[in-house]
Structure 1
Amino acid sequence: MQARLLPAARGVFWLFEGFRLFRRNPPLITAATLVYLLAVQLLALLPLIGAVLLPLLLPAMTLIVANACRLVDRQQTPGKAALLFGLSGHGNNSAALLRLGALQLAGALLVVLLTTLIGGGEDPFANALLSDTADTPADPAAQAAVLGKLAQVLLLATPLIIAFWFAPFLVGWDRVAPGKSLFFSTVASLRNWRAMLMFSLAAIAVAGILPGFILILVAQISGMALSAAFVALRMVLVFLVAPVLTASIYVSYRDIFTPSDEMHA
């Protein structure tokens, strides 16, 4: 499995190419992304069992969304068999994807354990929820502490994110063993760390910084319009930004692992 070495600017290209891919079939990519997000939320709401099922099923769910992007990219007609490619019928790798999910569950548990040990037994997610639901405004110092702990969690989870970035596609489409897929995903991400960093920064700017700046600007102009602006931005994030980011992740796999002479085959 050979991973191409790409320049840093390619990471920004993934975002623009994801938008171009989205424009070719907005209903399909949006529907696939929304179903994915809804499934994640429903599983997360299940007490105890949801925390186990979500990592187990996440690789298969990711592959289904990527199949939708792949169909649009290849200008193929959507269908059940095509959307489930790699999970059922020809090229069935459902068992391998489940094993990959088990590895992801183990990795998530390790991150939680390390976070708890470093934080002295405190749960940063619980603290964040308490600060969000409190009746009185949270102390700025407390908010900074919560953000610091969440940043710590993200830092600890970064190796896990890198290892699983391409893994579902490698297992589902290329029939790579789950363990080897983590290795190839990590090597590909590290070889292309500049492009991955540029993509991450561009995604943060589009999905986080820009909406926040717009809300601040609206609040300065008219506080009464802030609620409407928040709702509008949330709709844009769900129905536009999330599908574009989904398509961009597919593009990153296609760009790194597909030879240039096969990209438009």
Structure 2
Amino acid sequence: MKLQIVPARTGTLWVRQGLSTFMRQPMAFVALFFVFMAVVSIASQVPMVGGTLALVLLPSMTLALMAAAAHSAQAPQGKPPAGSVFLAALAAVKRDIGPLLVLGAMYAVGFLVVMAISALADGGQFAAVYLLGSPLTQEVAEQPGFQLAVWIAMALYIPLSLAFWHAPALMHWHGVPPVKSIFFSLVACMRNIGALTVFGVVWLGVFIAVGIGISLLTGLLMAVGAMGGGDGVGAIGSVVMIGGALVLAAMFFSSVWFSFRDSFSAD
């Protein structure tokens, strides 16, 4: 395995390649993301440990979507069968399920440490809202301690996210052990921080543009529903918002594999 340094403009290419790969089999990617999100959601309902269990499963979901993107991108011209995309994702997770769970446990510990440190600023209010689903009132949100806790959590989560960005893929495609995969992922992300920054900024622009479009469409549908005196159109607007969020998330994950592919090569 060899680290590759890419120019900052490569971040835009990763987004384009991800979108192109997604469009080859969009329903397969959306369905795959929905299935894993459903599994994570069900796991989060387990009493006492649900939130931690959901965190443990996140690297497995990441690898599944990266494997699906790799399979779709490497398939011959045309749309790969939807079934083959699913099988590639599930086979990747099944092959490395043990190391993935170890990696997921390390990610959960890291995330809980971030929340614990942020709790020093506000007595744990932000952690309770984020992890336990405590109600967020305007009074709580406007407290200086709560806002400081949010900024601390964001600042600490960035290096945590970079440390696990390539880790599942490094384990799967290069056979790197969990601890080393975290270290190599952090080093690779820091060395290619320019490309990753551009990647994030471009995706942020996509999210904002699509979000504005969905909001305008939803507002129009709800206005039509209000004039018509029925709730059906308003319900359609809600479905559009949820569906749009699922599609955007699936698009994003379909592009993550390209950042890994260009950051490492076989030695």
TM-score by length of 2: 0.79
Give the aligned partner of residue 249 of structure 1.
Answer: 256
Give the aligned partner of residue 174 of structure 2.
Answer: 174
By how many angstroms is 1:145 displaced? 7.4
Partner deviation per Cα, 1:148-180 (whole Å, 9 max, x = no partner): 643432221111100000101111221101111
Give the aligned partner of residue 16 of structure 1.
Answer: 16
Q: Quick one: which of 79, 96, 100 aligns to 1:97?
A: 100
Matched, 1:85 2:91: yes
The answer on whether the counterparts of 2:44 and 2:52 sit within 8 Å (CA) in structure 1 is no
By how many angstroms is 1:243 displaced? 1.5
**Number of aligned residues:** 250
* C-alpha distance in structure 1 between counterparts of 2:166 and 2:64, whole Å: 14
Give the aligned partner of residue 245 of structure 2.
Answer: 237
Amino acid at match of 1:142: E
Give the aligned partner of residue 109 of structure 2.
Answer: 106
Amino acid at match of 1:83: A
- Sequence identity (%): 28
* C-alpha distance in structure 2 between counterparts of 1:254 and 1:195, whole Å: 13
* C-alpha distance in structure 2 between counterparts of 1:210 and 1:201, whole Å: 12
Give the aligned partner of residue 165 of structure 2.
Answer: 165
Counting only pairs closer than 5 Å after superposition, residues 106-125 of structure 1 correspond to structure 2 as: 106-125=109-128
SS at match of 1:85: helix
The answer on whether the counterparts of 2:41 and 2:54 sit within 8 Å (CA) in structure 1 is no
* C-alpha distance in structure 1 between counterparts of 2:35 and 2:98, whole Å: 22
* C-alpha distance in structure 2 between counterparts of 1:245 and 1:79, whole Å: 16
Counting only pairs closer than 5 Å after superposition, residues 4-153 of structure 1 correspond to structure 2 as: 4-75=4-75, 78=84, 82-88=88-94, 92-126=95-129, 130-131=135-136, 138=138, 142=142, 149-153=149-153
The answer on whether the counterparts of 1:22 and 1:29 sit within 8 Å (CA) in structure 2 is yes
* C-alpha distance in structure 2 between counterparts of 1:99 and 1:33, whole Å: 22
Cα distance, 1:154–1:44 mapped onto 2, change above 3 Å: farther
Amino acid at match of 1:119: D
* C-alpha distance in structure 2 between counterparts of 1:164 and 1:212, whole Å: 27
* C-alpha distance in structure 2 between counterparts of 1:244 and 1:253, whole Å: 16
* C-alpha distance in structure 1 between counterparts of 2:143 and 2:219, whole Å: 22
* C-alpha distance in structure 2 between counterparts of 1:141 and 1:106, whole Å: 26
In structure 2, runs of 5+ residues without a counterpart are 226-233
* C-alpha distance in structure 2 between counterparts of 1:101 and 1:141, whole Å: 30
In structure 1, runs of 5+ residues without a counterpart are none
* C-alpha distance in structure 1 between counterparts of 2:242 and 2:111, whole Å: 28
Cα RMSD (Å): 3.2
TM-score by length of 1: 0.80
Q: Does 173-182 or 40-49 show the bigger shift?
A: 40-49
* C-alpha distance in structure 2 between counterparts of 1:30 and 1:22, whole Å: 9
Cα distance, 1:87–1:145 mapped onto 2, change above 3 Å: same
* C-alpha distance in structure 2 between counterparts of 1:149 and 1:241, whole Å: 28
* C-alpha distance in structure 2 between counterparts of 1:150 and 1:55, whole Å: 19
The answer on whether the counterparts of 1:93 and 1:175 sit within 8 Å (CA) in structure 2 is no
* C-alpha distance in structure 2 between counterparts of 1:148 and 1:216, whole Å: 30
* C-alpha distance in structure 2 between counterparts of 1:150 and 1:10, whole Å: 31
